């Protein structure tokens, strides 16, 4: 595949390139899981087609729409859910990095338009005031994409305990502790020694409550960040559920019996047909809820309106419903594949493991989404999180 110039892909070209790299991702999916990071050929391919930087500033074309970004990530998950997840995390971190302003963006991307960003959250850092900025140190666990990142956005308490904040810093002095010993999805511990961070790379957390970067007023960057990043986080799970459906249907085409029953061909069993129908319906439901969340964002952009608190909360609810449906579909499909699906080498089993981990991300928690939407509908304050 020809490597395109950085930041010059249109929406259709991004979708085509996603389809082109899916076979490579599938070929290395087992290796990616085994080594708990992207396999080197996968990392190289994803960087070269800008899938670590979907939300990074583009030089010659408009930033991709939220519809395009979510569709790209879903398609990547057809090859490897973990690889799609890392692309999502790094592109989301790039989105956050755009909020720091013109000087920070130039430092990151002017010389290296494909510079990748990882994100570490949770108040795991310590900071103190310094002339012209702050000094930060700490460690952040379960950070995806560490081995590919040149920059990191991390959360810490700002000096004097004033408020939580985000800081943007290079990873050249960072240490990676390979601490991820669980099922699926890349993520290790980022350790940052005491590092000076200038004021222009410090952002109070409350800034994430407001509309995003003004540098591209007609694009997703003008939207409150969480209303963009929550649908983005869901997209790989939709692709995993679609992939599990396709794998199951292909397996059933091989005319396998259901042992101990009258069915010499499992696909003729009404129970199997019911499970397939229910799973397909769950995947459709997940996609419809994600589509409404994306349309809410894009409609507000096209009309120049501001997302209301209720619509923001509904986006979180819609994304939670999508997660619930996608997880339920995959769980049911694993059962359709019978006990053999639980072999660790099975693709459906790998999808199930990745789905379990990804679906536990707090950003797309169905429970929190329900609470947020219920409070918004009833006018109950305070909201569960200031970052609805």
Q: Using an 8 Å Cβ cutoff, are 356 and 184 in contact?
A: yes
Q: How far apart are CA 274 and CA 318, in angstroms?
A: 25
CA 264 to chain centre: 41
Q: How far apart are CA 258 and CA 272, in angstroms?
A: 10
Quote the pLDDT of residue 272: 93
Phi-psi region of 184 (alpha: psi -120 to 50; beta: other; left: phi over 0): left
Strands 188-198 and 175-177: antiparallel
Q: What is 98-149 written as a DSSP string?
A: HTT-HHHHHHHHSS-TT--EEEE-SS-EEEEEETTEEEEEEEEEEETTGGG-
Q: What is 148-164 written as a DSSP string?
A: G-SEEEEEEEPGGG--E
Neighbours of 29 (CB within 10 A): 21
Q: Using an 8 Å Cβ cutoff, are 89 and 236 in contact?
A: no
Select 117-204's CATH number: 2.40.110.10, 3.10.129.10, 1.20.1440.230, 3.40.50.10800.
Answer: 2.40.110.10
Q: How far apart are CA 181 and CA 189, in angstroms?
A: 11
Helix axis angle for 347-358 and 81-98, nearest 10°, is 30
Instruction: Specify whether domain 11-109 bears CATH 3.65.10.10.
Output: no
Quote the pLDDT of residue 284: 98
Which residues, in sequence order, are CB contacts of 126 under 8 Å at separation 6+?
136, 137, 138, 156, 157
CATH T-level assignment (fold) for domain 223-378: Butyryl-CoA Dehydrogenase, subunit A; domain 3 (1.20.140)
The label of the residue with tokens 């108040």 reads 123
Strands 188-198 and 133-143: antiparallel
Buried b (16+ CB within 10 A) or exposed e, 269-278: beebeebbee
Q: The tokens of 266 are what?
A: 């499992």
Q: How far apart are CA 361 and CA 366, in angstroms?
A: 10
Q: How far apart are CA 62 and CA 24, in angstroms?
A: 28
* The model's pTM: 0.92
Quote the pLDDT of residue 185: 63
Any idea how long the chain is? 388
The domains of the chain are located at 11-109, 117-204, 223-378
Quote the pLDDT of residue 218: 54
Quote the pLDDT of residue 387: 83
Quote the pLDDT of residue 56: 84
Q: What is 322-344 written as a DSSP string?
A: HHHHHHHHHHHHHHHT-GGGGST
Q: Using an 8 Å Cβ cutoff, are 226 and 312 in contact?
A: yes
Q: How far apart are CA 55 and CA 317, in angstroms?
A: 23
- For the chain (388 residues), the mean pLDDT of every run of 10, in chain order, is 63 92 96 89 95 78 86 97 95 92 91 91 84 93 88 89 86 84 69 94 84 59 89 98 95 87 91 96 98 96 90 97 97 85 77 90 94 97 88
Integer Rg of the chain from CA: 21
């Amino acid at each position: 595949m020809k490597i395109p110039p950085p930041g010059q892909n249109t929406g259709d070209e991004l979708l085509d390139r996603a389809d082109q790299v899916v076979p490579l991702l599938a070929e290395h999916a087992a290796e990616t899981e085994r080594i708990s990071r992207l396999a080197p050929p996968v990392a190289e391919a994803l960087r070269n087609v800008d899938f670590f930087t979907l939300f990074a500033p583009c030089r010659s074309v408009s930033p991709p729409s939220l519809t395009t970004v979510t569709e790209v990530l879903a398609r990547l998950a057809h090859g490897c859910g973990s690889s799609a997840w890392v692309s999502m995390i790094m592109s989301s971190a790039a989105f956050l990095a755009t909020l720091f302003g013109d000087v920070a963006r130039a430092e990151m991307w002017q010389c290296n338009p494909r510079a990748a960003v990882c994100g570490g959250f949770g108040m795991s850092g310590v900071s103190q005031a310094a002339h012209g900025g702050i000094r930060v140190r700490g460690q952040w666990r379960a950070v995806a994409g560490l081995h590919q990142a040149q920059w990191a956005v991390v959360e810490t308490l700002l000096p004097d305990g004033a408020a939580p904040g985000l800081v943007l810093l290079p990873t050249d002095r960072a240490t990676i502790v390979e601490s991820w010993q669980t099922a699926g999805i890349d993520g290790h511990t980022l350790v940052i020694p005491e590092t000076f961070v200038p004021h222009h790379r410090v952002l109070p957390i409350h800034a994430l409550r407001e509309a995003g970067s003004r540098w591209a007023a007609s694009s997703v960057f003008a939207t409150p960040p969480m209303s963009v990043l929550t649908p983005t986080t869901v997209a790989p799970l939709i692709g995993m559920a679609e992939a599990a459906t396709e794998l199951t249907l292909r397996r059933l085409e091989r005319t396998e019996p259901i042992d101990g029953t009258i069915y010499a061909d499992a696909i003729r069993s009404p129970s199997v047909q019911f499970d397939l129908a229910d799973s397909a319906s769950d995947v459709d439901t997940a996609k419809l809820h994600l589509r409404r969340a994306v349309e809410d964002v894009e409609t507000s952009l096209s009309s120049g309106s501001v997302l209301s608190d209720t619509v923001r909360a509904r986006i979180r609810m819609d994304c939670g419903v999508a997660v619930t449906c996608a997880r339920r579909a995959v769980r049911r499909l694993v059962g359709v594949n019978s006990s053999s699906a639980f072999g660790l080498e099975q693709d459906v089993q790998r999808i199930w493991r990745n789905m379990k981990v990804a679906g536990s991300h707090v950003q797309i928690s169905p429970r929190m989404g329900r609470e947020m939407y219920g409070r918004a509908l009833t006018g109950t304050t305070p909201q569960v999180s200031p970052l609805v």
